[in-house]
Amino acid sequence: MAELKIETRYEVYEAKQFPVRIGRAVDNDIVIRALGVADYHLIIEESPEGLQIRNLHEAQINSKNLRSRAVIDKNTAITIGSSLIKLWIDPKAPMPNAAKSGKWLWITQPVAAICWFMLALALPMWTDYLETPINYFANWRLLFFSAATILAIVWVIHSMILPLVRRYLLIPLLGLVSALSLFTSINDQIVYWLIFQLNINWLDFPAFLLSCGVFIWIFRAFFRDFVPLSGRLLTRYTLAICLPCLLLLFYNYLKPHNFFTYRSGSFPSYHKGLLQHKLPLKEEKSISEFFSIEKSN
């Protein structure tokens, strides 16, 4: 009879009798207390081919979507909602996705994250220096608002995913947001150069859509590997957490088009209501001046 060790975030189970039911309900063999896990989600049972999983719904096996049944022939990592379940067949072999977050080290490593943050601040400062006719050492106002914007986005995103991750990801998020901010600045400069060279004024809108797509794709991959998330919960949290970044991108797209500036003649002028309002009246003359014989107008 097959033996299987099932490891969750809370406990480790030695399963020798099958089927084993995993879900959120109390009557399951293994209860998962996490978001995105149904009451009755999946079953591990014996088959002629060996152990297999069925009723997967929207679970991910070894970072791959699988909605039908699958045979377990090696160590397997299953992601259901915001929970990660490890199925150990060979304890000496590594888990397939054990080093899944290693591909993010060029962004999430502390030294790399600080370098991305400095580059994200340096490029807007350099372009502002080139565009300003007056020589100055640094635009401290631009530096302050750029750093405050990046740090505020990192704090908002970290506050939203902290209940899911249950560990601090401030440094990885700082590197991720800084790299995306640098990408946005480079994208804006490339679009500005192409518009100047090709005389095509509509390139900024495809560039805006490209930036939004890159933001959503990168954040989705980050949440899938670091939280981890899967299924519909991954899509919902990606769209919800990307919303502050998408709003800033939308603002950055509308501002050069003079969307927030007042244009004369675009809005009607209304009366001031109960406020003091004096009409330009003519000068009033007294009766004595009317009967005066010295000078009459």
Q: Under DSSP, is residue 42 helix (H, G, I), strand (E, B) or coil?
A: strand
Q: Phi and psi dihedrals of 200, rounded to 5?
A: -120, 115
How far apart are alpha carbons 4 and 240 in whole angstroms? 37
pLDDT recorded at residue 150: 93
Q: Contact at 8 Å (CB) between 8 and 22? A: no
Instruction: Tell me yes or no: is domain 4-88 CATH 2.60.200.20.
Output: yes
pLDDT recorded at residue 171: 92
- Which residues have CB under 8 Å from 237's CB, separation 6+? 160, 161, 164, 223, 227, 229
- Which residues have CB under 8 Å from 191's CB, separation 6+? 203, 204, 207
pLDDT recorded at residue 216: 94
**One pLDDT digit (tens) per residue for the chain, 297 residues:** 567 888 887 788 888 888 888 888 888 888 888 777 877 788 888 888 788 888 766 676 766 666 667 788 888 888 887 788 888 888 788 777 654 566 788 888 899 999 999 999 999 888 888 777 776 667 888 889 999 999 999 999 999 888 777 778 899 999 999 999 999 999 988 988 888 888 887 888 899 999 999 999 999 988 888 777 877 788 888 998 888 889 989 988 888 777 666 665 555 555 455 544 455 555 555 656 655 666 544
pLDDT recorded at residue 289: 60
- Which residues have CB under 8 Å from 239's CB, separation 6+? 216
Specify the residue for token string 């003519």: 282
pLDDT recorded at residue 173: 93
How far apart are alpha carbons 164 and 144 in whole angstroms? 31
pLDDT recorded at residue 268: 53
How far apart are alpha carbons 196 and 74 in whole angstroms? 57
What residue ranges do the domains of the chain occupy? 4-88, 102-260
pLDDT recorded at residue 282: 53
How far apart are alpha carbons 56 and 23 in whole angstroms? 11
What is the maximum alpha-carbon separation in the chain? 130
pLDDT recorded at residue 179: 94
